[in-house]
Structure 1
């Protein structure tokens, strides 16, 4: 009986701290009109349906970096220091000699 209780409580701990998504494969599909990322083998997902179609949410989260080209401003002058490098939780910015004229 004690062994059975230990097994039950141990299984509960493994469920709480287990991996949330197990995927077998994935990739990106690109075409002239757009692109899509996909995952294969996801065992848990939620589907939202509407008049225009449906979408299934999953484990992939978007991360987009936008680059602004040809941005030049002759009216802002400053020295910026970013520290510490590498950082874990807190990033410090030190701005000196700021002139916004």
Structure 2
């Protein structure tokens, strides 16, 4: 993997580590915060590769509609949902309930 991509992934991980318990953000919000607004998919790739890093709460990063699109990259069928529910986030049919209220925007919070 190119060094530039690795550096981008590390920046993504730095932001993801700051997402508070019980809150969620989107791939696009992280990309925009990092000055790469069209790189939401790259943020997704970073999250997919972060599951062996216990200090990165990848379960708190969802798509722009609050869907658990990354759930297939977690061990177990519903691990992503279980981790969110353990933090008090309600998930119905793979979608965050009350998404707007739980949304954490790094551009506004940091």
Q: What's the TM-score once normalised by structure 1's chain length?
A: 0.22
- Greater percentage in helix: 2
Between Structure 1 and Structure 2, which shows a larger proportion of strand residues? 1
Asked which structure has the greater CA Rg, the reply is: 1
Report the TM-score, using the length of structure 2 for normalisation.
0.20
